[in-house]
Structure 1
C-alpha cells in the first residue's frame, strides 16, 4: 500500500491524541478553533493533569514542557522484503489510460513513542494508554491532514522497549515498525494508452471445404 510519510507520521500522533482526549488529558483540537483550544488548555492546566503530545517535526515546541508529555519521532527508514520491480498499473483518464510504474521496493518505517512524567500514577496510565492504543502489533489507517482516515491501512509491530527512568522522572520508550509500505508514488510513464474498440474476425471452418 502507498502512503505519504505525513500520513504515517500523523497516524501515530493522532491515534494517541484521540485517546488522550477520551481520557480527559487534552481538549480536542480537531473540533475546536485555535483560540478555544488554548482557552480550554489553560483551564485544564489549572485544574487537572494535562499530558501534551508532540508529533514528528514538532521539535522546537517540545522544550516548553518538561514532564507529562508524549513525544513521537520517526527514527528509521529501510528497504523492506516486498518488491515491485517492473510492475505497472493502468488508470482511466478522460480520453485514454494512464500507465504508471510501481516503485522498485517497499520500506519499513520505525517510529519511537516516548513519554515523561514525574508521577507513578500517571506512568501506569500512560503505559496502559499506549499499549491499549497500539498493543504488540496491529493495523491502522493513515491519517490525512483534515484528520480523516485513508482508505489503505498499514501493518505494524512493537520491536523494542526501553526504560530510561532516573530518580526524578519516569521515561519509557516504545518502538514500532511499519512494514512493507510504498512511500514514493507510482511514476507516470504515459497518459495516452489507447483502448481497443472493436475486433473483426473472419473464421473459416476447414471441414466444410473438404
Structure 2
C-alpha cells in the first residue's frame, strides 16, 4: 500500500520543524512507518544545493536562478527519497515543498505561476501531497522567532518585511484555493495546543489503521 505524503508550510519562524517531530513521534506510536525530510534538501545532492540557497547575502540570486536551483534539488529529493519511501508504504513528513516555491518565488518574487507550475510538472511525476498543514503566524512574530535561532541559514530572513508579507498572503491564498488538500493551523497557540490540533487534523483527514 502506498504511503502518505504530508507537507508542512509556513513563513520564517512558523515552528514547522518542531511540529513535524511531534507528529512523527505520534504516528510512530501508532505503528506507522514514518520518514521526516525537508526542502530544500532531504537528499545528499539536494542538501548541497540547499547550502547555496539559504546561506549568503539576500541578493545572492535573482528569482529565476533561485527557482531553477530549487527545482533541481526537488527533482533529486523526489527521485532518491520521497517517491521510494511512498512506494515502501511510509508516511513522509516534509518541511516545505512546492507551496513554498509558489509563495516565495511566485508571490514573493513575482515570477509567473504558469512557469512555476510547468517546472513542477516536469520534476514531480504527478505527485501531490495528501495533506498540507500551513502554520500561520504574523510576519513580525515569525521573523523574531527565526532571529533567535542564531544559525547561518538566514538568507531569506534578511529580505524586506514587505517580501514576507507577500509570502504570507501567498500561503493564505494557496490554502483558500486548495481546501481539500490544505489546512491552516494557528501558529500563535502554545506548542502543545498546536501539536494537538495538527494530530487531530491528520487523523480526521487521513484515517489509517495503525497497530
TM-score (norm 1): 0.29
Q: Of the two structures, which has the highest relative contact order with CA contacts closer than 8 Å and spacing of 6 or more? A: 2
Which of the two has higher C-alpha Rg? 1
Larger strand fraction of residues: 1
Larger helix fraction of residues: 2
TM-score (norm 2): 0.29
